[in-house]
Amino acid sequence: MKKRLFLIIFSGLGSLTLIALTYQEERGINSGFFGTNPQSVTHISKKSQPTEGLNLSIAQEEKLDLEISNLVKKAIELGHYHYAQQQIKIIEDIPLKLELWRKLAHAYLSVGQTQSAYKIVNQAIELDQQNESFDPVTWVTEWILTDQQDKVQELIENLEGDEQQQAQVYLSLAQCYLEMGQLVKGVEYAQLIPSDLGFTPEDYNSLKNELLQKIIDQALPQNNLDLADQVANSFDSKIEQVIALRKLAHQYFKKGNDEEGKKKLEQALEQAKTINTVPIFVDRHTFWSEPNSNLLFGLAQDYQELGDQQKALSILDLTIKSIAQFKTQYTFDFVVWNRSQALRQVATRYLDLGEKEKAIATLELAIKEARKFKRKREILIQELLEIAQIYVKLDQEKEAFLLWEEAFNRLDVIDPKSAELVLETAKVAVLVDQAETGIELVDETQSFLMQLEIAVLAGEENLTKQLAKTKLNQLDKLPFNDDKMVMLEQMALILSENKKLALNFVEQIESPFDKAYILVAIAKKYSQKNDEKEVNTILDKAVTIAETISDAKQREKWIVETTNRLIETHEIDEDMLAQKQLTVPLHQLYLAEQLSEKNKSSKLQAQILFEITERELTEFQEEKAFKAFNKLVSTLKKNSSTQDFLRNFLQLFNLALSLNKNDFALAVAENITNKDYKIVALRQVAQKYALAGNPEKAKNILSETITITQTIENETRKQEIIQGITEQQETLESELK
């Protein structure tokens, strides 16, 4: 143990100081790394020394291992690989040691130092083999990445007869080659996985199918249509085949090859016709199936967009037959799928295609199915109201009224009544010219927001003004806090359905805090409708009003709190939460960015632009992501605050790298200000270019990296990096030969 402590203290004081100070700088820790004085790098080990000798307790050992582990991870991030290697050797916890060896090996691989990774992997495996539970399958990926395919082949041969273990090896190989971008190899091993062999519970999707779909998703943007076609036709599952063929068809259409796209759609349709049911997975405790209506709906939409209305109609006719053969599904006592719901969707599609008579005939079938819910009165009422709304769109006022009346009468005998069901009944009442009854219904609930919503929907301006004024008088007594903001926003969202009423409401508000905020809430509604002109007009007005807040601190508070409500999810975003979207809609982020720009709040604007860039990149909108990123960089440079967002740049870089967006990753790397991080990032993106078949680009980036490295003052550190880059260049040259 004495030797262990000695190593920690003296095995790299320069590196440790740099790593500790970097950790401190990034997190704004004044007291030093891990709460210690950064000037005393020996403190980490000394604090663990007991008063009686060096016999540390188990708890102290674990604590010391954890602290060394944190240093190792930080060293790897900064590219201090030699130092990380020295520290890993000191760790006594074997599983932790193996985890860090593996992490270091992958770090070496990410910068093209295959030989260094090779040594680390074999050293780690040698240690792991001393463990009784050693499993060579867990090292398959590392063997492949360090060019030790012979060991993988030997493992496969040794597992002859053990299908489960062999399949696990094939899965690891396929995933590894997929991550490396070697799609052909990925397909080769994925196809070796038996389709009837599962690695997960039965009510989960097949890992093999998920893997093959991912291969298609990577092949299509690369225009590798032949490989995508091969994989699409290899699925044992007809459902997966239909999904894959549609993806392929869409890519052909995108490329302008309509003839080939139509062939793939026709192939998908022929398969879809032979499918009876589609399994639905929600979680491991609920499983059910549906008719293949969703597959058919998608195909009908495709043909509609192609202008082939007859084909779209024939598919919808087929969908009705599929639905008719299926039974309603229950989970416990809750209806999760029913024929009336599916038939409503078909009717809506017929309506979109201009087939009014077919839509009406389908709605009649839906009504018959809905009325089969004898005990499920709430479901029946909901279905009747939904169908009534489609009748309104079809200008069938009488039928719509009769269905609403039936729903209203059935609602009357339910006790207690669901507030949502009451509101829905009131809304449809307005649509069928029964506004007075709708208003009376929500009056009984004593819900202000429900009353306001129906008043607006019914166009009752006097009632709307009266309700809004009463609530404003109550809100005026409250401070500008979260509760008040929620109520103001809820009112704004309802009132913004009628612009005249909304602006009239704003004029009644006296507090500039409240008035400016309510305008932003209204702008949020218009941004959802992509009405940029209206959004700008309303935001300008909001900012002008906010500027009248005399107290500078209060004005800043308004800017921060208002913007934060736009970039965070709240209970008010009912639609978003109902759809289980855990992210804020992009249009809302853009609105927040506009607001922060108008308020000249550059740091807040930068934070939002980072999030917008990440979202656009994740949604494969690379052009939009570049546009947001360029604006971000410009904003930061104007205020000389690029260094304040180091962690954000690193996060964005890693995202781009994981998505194989090499040009974008390079652009981010060029804007990283920390020299250590920048060198690692440039080496990583150079390696990505090399793997993607662009060695010249990789060589140019490495030349730039060497130039940056030459500016490092610490000679030992400089030589370590140059040695690593030299190994990376040699590996690149050998692969070119």
The torsion angles phi and psi of 277, rounded to 5 degrees, stand at -135, 160
Rounded to whole angstroms, the Cα distance separating 252 from 244 reads 13
DSSP structure class, residue 553: H
Mean pLDDT (whole number) for 679-683: 97
Question: DSSP labels for 218-242?
Answer: HHTTTT-HHHHHHHHTT-S-HHHHH
Percent of the chain whose predicted confidence (pLDDT) is above 70: 87
Rounded to whole angstroms, the Cα distance separating 236 from 214 reads 16
Mean pLDDT (whole number) for 509-530: 84
Beta strands 277-283 and 286-291, pairing class: antiparallel
Q: Decide if pLDDT at 584 tops 90.
A: no
Q: What is the pLDDT of residue 127?
A: 94
Can you tell me which residue has the tokens 């032949």? Answer: 226
Rounded to whole angstroms, the Cα distance separating 309 from 305 reads 9
Task: Label residue 513 by pLDDT band (50, 70, 90).
Answer: confident
Question: DSSP labels for 14-40?
Answer: HHHHHHHHHHHHHHT-TT-GGGS-TT-
CA neighbours within 13 Å on the CB side: how many for 341? 16
The residue extents of the domains of the chain are 2-145, 159-275, 523-530+545-736
Task: Label residue 586 by pLDDT band (50, 70, 90).
Answer: confident
Q: Decide if pLDDT at 47 tops 50.
A: no
Counted residue by residue, the chain has a size of 737
Q: What is the pLDDT of residue 638?
A: 84
Same CATH fold assignment for domains 159-275 and 523-530+545-736: yes
User: Nearest-5° angle of CA 321, CA 322, CA 323?
Assistant: 90
Q: What is the pLDDT of residue 286?
A: 57
Task: Label residue 203 by pLDDT band (50, 70, 90).
Answer: very low
**549-560 pLDDT, tens digit each:** 888 888 888 888
Mean pLDDT (whole number) for 603-616: 92
For the chain, the average pLDDT equals 84
Q: What is the pLDDT of residue 25?
A: 46
Can you tell me which residue has the tokens 């007869």? Answer: 161
**522-542 pLDDT, tens digit each:** 888 888 888 888 888 888 888
Pick one of 3.30.70, 1.25.40, 1.10.3470, 3.40.50 as the CATH number of 523-530+545-736.
1.25.40
Provide the CA 51 distance to its chain's centre, in angstroms.
51
Mean pLDDT (whole number) for 322-333: 80
The torsion angles phi and psi of 331, rounded to 5 degrees, stand at -120, 115
Residue 290 token pair: 């549906």
Can you tell me which residue has the tokens 């040699």? Answer: 730
Task: Label residue 35 by pLDDT band (50, 70, 90).
Answer: very low
Residue 373 token pair: 């819910």
Q: Decide if pLDDT at 22 tops 70.
A: no
pTM confidence score: 0.78
Q: Decide if pLDDT at 579 tops 80.
A: no
**404-461 pLDDT, tens digit each:** 999 999 988 877 778 889 999 999 999 999 999 999 999 988 889 999 999 999 989 8
Task: Label residue 580 by pLDDT band (50, 70, 90).
Answer: very low
Percent of the chain whose predicted confidence (pLDDT) is above 90: 53
Mean pLDDT (whole number) for 638-642: 76
Q: What is the pLDDT of residue 566?
A: 80
Mean pLDDT (whole number) for 132-152: 91
Mean pLDDT (whole number) for 505-521: 85
Task: Label residue 575 by pLDDT band (50, 70, 90).
Answer: very low
Which has more confidence, 482 or 170?
Answer: 170
Q: Decide if pLDDT at 27 tops 50.
A: no
Can you tell me which residue has the tokens 């805090």? Answer: 513
Q: What is the pLDDT of residue 205?
A: 60
Mean pLDDT (whole number) for 267-293: 79
Which has more confidence, 527 or 393?
Answer: 393
Q: Is 327 exposed, middle or buried (0-12, 13-18, 19+ CB in 10 A)?
A: exposed
Q: Decide if pLDDT at 494 tops 70.
A: yes
Lowest mean pLDDT among 375-379, 387-391, 665-669: 375-379
Could you report how far apart the first and last alpha carbons of the chain are, in Å?
Answer: 49
**Under 8 Å between Cβ of 209 and 172:** no
Give me Rg for the CA atoms of the chain: 32
Q: Decide if pLDDT at 285 tops 60.
A: no
Mean pLDDT (whole number) for 157-173: 88
Q: What is the pLDDT of residue 333?
A: 66
Task: Label residue 51 by pLDDT band (50, 70, 90).
Answer: very low
Mean pLDDT (whole number) for 380-402: 95
Residue 336 token pair: 């999760």
**Under 8 Å between Cβ of 81 and 107:** yes
Can you tell me which residue has the tokens 């974008």? Answer: 664
CA neighbours within 13 Å on the CB side: how many for 646? 17
Nearest CA among 110, 113, 167 for reference residue 140: 167
Task: Label residue 393 by pLDDT band (50, 70, 90).
Answer: very high
Question: DSSP labels for 137-193?
Answer: GGGHHHHHHTT-HHHHHHHHHHTTT-HHHHHHHHHHHHHHHHHHT-HHHHHHHHTTS
Give the list of residues 6+ apart from residue 382 with CB closer than 8 angstroms, or none. 421, 424
Task: Label residue 196 by pLDDT band (50, 70, 90).
Answer: low
Instruction: Determine what percent of the chain falls in helix, strand and coil, rounding each to the nearest 5.
Output: 75, 5, 25
Rounded to whole angstroms, the Cα distance separating 224 from 594 reads 40
Task: Label residue 337 by pLDDT band (50, 70, 90).
Answer: confident
Task: Label residue 50 by pLDDT band (50, 70, 90).
Answer: very low
Task: Label residue 30 by pLDDT band (50, 70, 90).
Answer: very low
Q: What is the pLDDT of residue 657?
A: 93
Q: What is the pLDDT of residue 287?
A: 66
Q: What is the pLDDT of residue 38?
A: 32
Q: Decide if pLDDT at 482 tops 80.
A: no
Q: Decide if pLDDT at 8 tops 70.
A: no
Q: What is the pLDDT of residue 114?
A: 92
Q: What is the pLDDT of residue 438?
A: 93
DSSP structure class, residue 330: E
Question: What separation in angstroms does the CA of 585 have from each of 51, 456, 573, 655, 691?
Answer: 58, 25, 10, 19, 35
Q: What is the pLDDT of residue 39?
A: 33
Task: Label residue 9 by pLDDT band (50, 70, 90).
Answer: very low
DSSP structure class, residue 133: T
Nearest CA among 94, 157, 84, 91 for reference residue 124: 94
Long-range contacts from 206-211, C-beta under 8 angstroms, 24+ separation: 206/237, 207/171, 208/171, 209/235, 209/237, 209/240, 211/171, 211/174, 211/175, 211/178, 211/186
Provide the β-strand partners of residue 283. 286
Pick one of 1.10.3470, 3.40.50, 3.30.70, 1.25.40 as the CATH number of 159-275.
1.25.40
